[in-house]
Amino acid sequence: MRNIALGFQFPEKINEPKFLFDFLDKCDEIDSVRVCKQKIIDYLGIKEGDCVLDVGCGTGQEVQRIKQIVGNSGLVVGVDKSELMIEEAKKRADKLNMSVKYYVADANSLKMNDNSFDACRAERVLLFLENPKNAVLEMIRVLRPGGKLAIFDFYLDGTFVNSAFPALNRKIVGFISDSFPNGLIGCKLPEIFEELGLSNITFVPHTNIAPYDFFMWVCHGILEQAINQKVISESDLNQWVNQLKEMHESGRFLAGFPGFIVTGQKK
C-alpha cells in the first residue's frame, strides 16, 4: 500500500514502511515546508532550556532541529502513534548521538503530566485524526500556563494544480481531500483554539508548493483508490497525468497544498 492518506492513518499495515520514511524525508527537502517549520519555531519563541513537545513527530527531523536550539539544558520530546516511526526516530537520533526523548503515544491520549511543556507543535497531523479537537485539548493540557501551541494543517479542498481539465481536476482534488478524515481541518483550527480557551490566537495562511515528482507521488496511491471506487476512469486519469507531465517538461507545472499555521497561548 503506497497510499499516503491510508499509510499515515494505519502505518503498521504498510508492507514497506520505508515508503513513509522516504516520504517524510522528501517533505523535509521542500523549501516551502522548511519555511513553514521555521515559522512555527519563530512563533513558539523556542530558546535554550525550554521543554518542547512535537506531536506526530514521525522520524524526528524537527525534534532534532529543536534540540539544537534548546541545548543540553532543554528537553525535546517527540510522540507518534506508530511504533515504526518511533523506532526509526530513535535510530536516527542515536546515529547523531543526540539526547532527545521519543514515545509511542496517540495524540488523543498523550499520557504525560499536566503543565509539562513550554511549547508544543504539530504539523500535518490533525488531518489524519477522527477527533482533532480532542487532540488539541490534550496538547493544551500538557502545556504550562503561558505556554505556546502552534499547529500547521491543510485545507485540502484548496489544493491547486495548473491542469487543462478543470472539471476533472475538481473531481480529483475533492477525492484527495475526502480521503483524509479531516482534510479541511486547517481552517477550523482558530475556532477550536478559541473554544478551548487559548489566548493571543493568530491565523496565518501558508501553502506547501509541491514539486512535480512529489505531487505525483502524493497523488498516485490515492488516485488508484479513486479508480477502484469508479470515481474517475483510468482513461481520464491517464489524460490528466499525461498533461501534467507535459506541463512539467515545459517548465510550466505548478501545484500546491494550502493550509494555515494557527497559534495560541495557554492562559
Kindly report the CATH number assigned to the domain that includes residue 26. Answer: 3.40.50.150
Mean pLDDT of 182-192: 98
Whether the predicted pLDDT of 16 surpasses 90 = no
**pTM to 2 decimal places:** 0.96
Q: How far apart are CA 255 and CA 162, in angstroms?
A: 7
54 close to 86: Cβ distance less than 8 angstroms: no
Q: Is the Cβ–Cβ distance between 70 and 95 less than 8 Å?
A: no
Total domains in the fold of the chain = 1
- Domain hosting 197: range is 4-265
CA angle 153/169/171 to nearest 5° reads 80
Contact status, residue 152 vs residue 206, Cβ threshold 8 Å: yes
Residue 221 has pLDDT above 70, yes or no: yes
What rounded mean pLDDT belongs to the chain?
A: 97
Task: Examine the pLDDT at 1 and tell me if it is beyond 70.
Answer: no
DSSP state, 48? Answer: T
